[in-house]
A and B are shown apart, each in its own frame.
Chain A
Amino acid sequence: MKNCLWEVINNKNSLSKALAEEAAVQIRFGKTKKPNVIWIEATGCSGNTISLMNADYPDLIYLLDNMINLKFSNSLMVCDGERAFESFLKTLKEDFILVVEGAVSTKEDGLFNIIANYKGNKITAYDAIKMAGAKAKSIIAVGTCASFGGVSKAYPNPSEAKSVKEVLQKDVINLPGCPSHPEWIIGTLAYIITNEKIEVDDLGRPLLFYGFTIHDFCERRVYFNNRIFAKNIGEPWCMFKLGCRGPVTKTDCPKRRWNNKVNWPIGDNTPCIGCANAYFPDGMEPFIRL
């Protein structure tokens, strides 16, 4: 990790692209196989799929064409009904990577989130994730709900939602964020295509993307150091006193930025609300202290 520190800090914006290109090249020259991917949407808002569609370098089509065989995705797949679920079942017999977005609802044995009806049987997301989780080569939890429970698990947790790791009790790569940044998703997929394992911290987050706090590289850090604080939304200074969670939130938002890198929440004069944290949202409120 230390050796690549400089790379990580200075090449944030091209890191995912470089990783993705490396993966695509290795696949094209037969050095590695294009992996199958099952993407299950569970109890959440499907915002991570939308975020993935916002991917820029590389974009969604590059991912689908050159990096993965996406076999199951409720939001995107053309097929529907039993045939769609059969594609899921068939893929279980091969090698595949499991991606989950959304928390896993366990109330009434998972009946609060049904993802298919196959030959008269209701298939819950809970069942599907257990089935796929038992066989998957790697498991990636995308977004804060899948990683830690997130908004879906917020008190009083009406759907008895759990994180993917809580349900599967296996190693899970967590890519929290509400939503997760498309480059964290594509970069991680690319990395595990070309390498055996990705280095993660004790919460399962890849150090490549979650190694530093927002505070470490915040563009308003100089105001913090000089104790110049914003007292209202819209002021261009450090928002620590408005409740900014940058100091406790580990993501690379300040360098990576969002949506073709045009902006990010602090750039929009609002505090970081710590959406990538394990205890979001319950431990992060109030989001704005006025």
Chain B
Amino acid sequence: MVKLIIDPITRISGFLGVEVEIEKNKIVEAKVEGNLFRGFEKILKGRYALDAVYLTERICGICSSAHALAATLALENALNLVPTENVIYIRDLLHSFDIIQNHIRHFYLFTVPDYVEFDFSSPLYETCHKDYRIPDKLSRKIQEDYLKSIEFSKLAHVGVALLGGKAPHNHGILPGIVSVSLDRLKIEEIKSIINKIKDFVDNCMLEDVNIISMYYGDYFEKGKTYNNFLSFGLFDYEDFYYVKPSVIINGVKSDFDVNKIHENINYSWYEVHDGQVVENIKKKGAYSFVKSPRYDKMPVEVGPLARMILSGKYNLKSSTMDRIIARCQEASNILRIMSIIVERIEPFKKEVKYDFKVSSGLGMVDTTRGALLHYVKLDYDKIDGYDIITPSAWNFSPRDDFLGTVEKALVDTFIDDINDVVEVGRIVRSFDPCISCATHVTLRR
């Protein structure tokens, strides 16, 4: 038996280590370790309610709009604020630009180097693995698209900035309103950006992922999870939707019930002291700062693949390659939805009044990496308590009675070459880890 620690898993957001035990070329044990703690829920307590929006954005550099939106939804819920349809469309548009930015960056900058050997001169592209199968001509095509992708992911952030001032960490989304001044010119500019990116995604990205999947067919067999999928819903409008709040447990689809969400800290570096969750790095048996959220006691997979399956756009199966393909196809699908939404937005007069009271609110939205939940407890205009369950916490949780989702994906994987274990990185990256996000959730009270 060989024990192997791969830390850092590079080309992700945040710090992640993976410990695997390999017996006869098969992974028999896997531990996924979240290696960063920030403690946002402690930082938020006692601060001004509205500041939650801009502060929680700072949890994550690559998906900041998602936190702005979830915090906004939680505050709207607490303040009984109902935004107009126009406001919802505009902020969904802003959020989707950030999703597209992430999907393009995750595919080209983080995923592609796992499968394509680069001939760029920068030492950044030196590789330490051998399993590269794509012929030179196609490899060069993908490398050219890699360079193009930098322009298009940037352009997606230009979309965020047009609507929200700057990216990352935009200013545009607030409870009940969006701050942007829209005019016809700006709307046309946004349409043009959507079209340009869609052109790239449909003609380059989908083709590139197709090439990769042809040469790495064995990755349709590697990285399988439980067939448990969860989504809080995304682009769920009156006359059309992408995905409704829903779950699949053991292959059976049902409606989503928020009361079935629980978190445990059995193998996380936390313990409960006087009803408070405190960090304890010396806790026996613990190995991660990520906690273990569960749906009906089961670990679930969240993210683009879960959404594509739950919306009926992808067959019910999970693997490394399915996850990567689903992300690329979803990018194209979201861009299609964006071109519908952009036709519906219009200039408007902004007016909002916040009526703070003692209350609490829940904000749930599906985002870049899956289901994101914010919960806020208000004492008038101050925050009395804040909880966050991030998508990467669902995917990268340590075990309880069951292995965490990514641990499950790793265990039983066949390793081709024990001296060059390339499988672990590929499987883990297909989930698009964001550990800066995952490691500051707390128990919901």
Contact = CB atoms under 8 A, between A and B. Distances in A.
Contact of A270 (B9, B118, B172): B172
A150 B12 CA distance: 22
A56 B154 CA distance: 8
A269 B157 CA distance: 18
B61 A179 contact: yes
Given A112-B37, A258-B161, A45 B11 contact: no
Contact of A79 (B12, B35, B126): B126
A259 B160 contact: yes
A106 to B, nearest CB: 12
B403 interface: no
B165 A265 contact: yes
Contact of A287 (B54, B122, B162, B164): B54
A268 B64 contact: no
Given A53-B150, A234-B181, A270-B171, A113 B37 contact: yes
A47 B436 CA distance: 10
A75 B179 contact: no
The size bracket of the interface on B is: 35 or more
Interface stretch (B38-46, B338-346, B366-374): B38-46
Contacts of A69: 122-123
Contacts of B154: 53-54, 56, 59, 259-260
Contacts of B206: none
Most buried by B among A81, A116, A273: A81
A263 B50 CA distance: 22
Contacts of B48: 285-287
A236 B349 CA distance: 12
Interface string A47-63: 11111011010011100
B179 A233 contact: yes
Interface stretch (B13-21, B237-245, B329-337): B13-21
Interface residues of A, number: 79
A78 B59 contact: no
Interface string A265-277: 1111110010100
Contact of B35 (A48, A71, A114): A114
19 contacts: A45-B61, A47-B62, A54-B167, A61-B147, A74-B12, A74-B15, A76-B10, A76-B109, A80-B6, A107-B37, A111-B281, A154-B43, A158-B279, A159-B37, A178-B58, A268-B181, A269-B180, A285-B47, A285-B48
The 8 closest A-B pairs by CB, nearest first: A47-B61, A158-B39, A234-B350, A268-B165, A259-B161, A258-B166, A117-B7, A83-B128
Given A112-B289, A268-B163, 16 more contacts: A45-B436, A50-B61, A53-B153, A64-B124, A69-B122, A70-B122, A80-B6, A80-B10, A81-B6, A81-B7, A81-B9, A84-B128, A112-B37, A150-B58, A159-B39, A262-B161
